[in-house]
Chain A
């Protein structure tokens, strides 16, 4: 006779065609990354379907918001990864975003290079500038590193006005080829949405793979105590240079996407203190070293921002920042800490030790 019971967080079906089946019921043992990724993939379609059937209009603004959440994810994923590998918090990530945006726009508009080429160029320029600036991760720390990285976007901001003939100041560089132009607004929006999602996913998977490898362990050692790590042979300066260079290139890719998404690129729109605050708050509220948490935090914050802005205007934005400040205190380990309370330092790889079987 078939017997069904739940025991120790498991659903057990016994004696079903002479076999016994067990499934883990407790959510933390599920293959959660796969479930989360599928939910991430399906969510835009669900949002579109529900909104259209409920209100009878196409949620253009909402889909644009989701695109922005993906762009923010690209930035915060790179910033979080960079923070682990360098042990320093970069206050100028939007500098690299603008660098990528300008590179893509200038090369496309002035030289007619297609988006595939400008993608490579944007990553390369971001990485080269990152490599040039990377010694600051070795020679400076604390307030000096913060000030250095904080000043970089301001310099680019001023340059955008000083050479407005090249950078177009607040008007930006118009006429950049869009990645998709099918003539169907909704189709284009979905194509942009899934392209940005794909880029964010690729970045996330690369960082996740690295963090789960031996290099992730070495990065964690550098992050926790750089001097100690060096005493035990970890080449911390090399790790910091490589990480800073690569993540700078990845941040520039976010700028490349924006240029080819909006059909123009205006640095001053992105080189703002508000953009910096949004990136830093998202990255911090994601949870320390929480790569998956970056995407979750980006989505929560961007959607909350749009809801508050559309319902309460400037007051809503003020409320958003107050909410985020409160969350910093209430959730010191971020949104990811809610999910993985027991082991929130996700950035250390796990070494599985097989226990000896009792014969």
Chain B
């Protein structure tokens, strides 16, 4: 068989793939949700791919040292460490549910020299940026996956100091998920902690509370963690702004759903004491 038809076909395929890729890039730039190329190509299966891509970001966070579905089925169902880090706001020690140092046979023992075999995180200046492509792709594949936006925004603003990009990404998420209290909370946190824009942060966080009450309050097991986080952020914001009575009202609501009410009670007492203290006259 002559190789010319093969060459022409392969070059045509290469051009088509490159053009398709370019189309994706342009589409991303225009940020159009409807008529997405990925949606057209993959249909609803893209959501399954989105989960896989999100896990890929977690694997990158661990520099390739990551359990497969064969190593620990439970680990695949558990929360990713990217999400845990976002919620707890700090790095913590964890294991992957499998012991890599215990080899079942000589092939495993030999093979560990040829793959990442030590628990490491992406650390150092701006290293966390390497997880971003996969998070971006996960959002493209499944725009309704709220976690992708909140996690990405957290890493952008906390680790990479890219506050503007984090805000733009959260707004993109909000357009795809207008009722998400999680995205509103993350946006409010960004305004409060990075922009120091108290009025804007207050509006967004109060909207988050409203959305939470509308969606979760009537449920049998509502998402109390998110509710506490939103109220806690709101209370801290008011306290910093000097609106102690408002802060106190928010802490009372936290107290009602807190698993550790004693700590909240202590905070309430402190605020009450502050309120009762005589105001210093202006000099």
- On whether the two chains bind one another, the answer is no
Residues of B at the A interface (CB closer than 8 Å) are: none
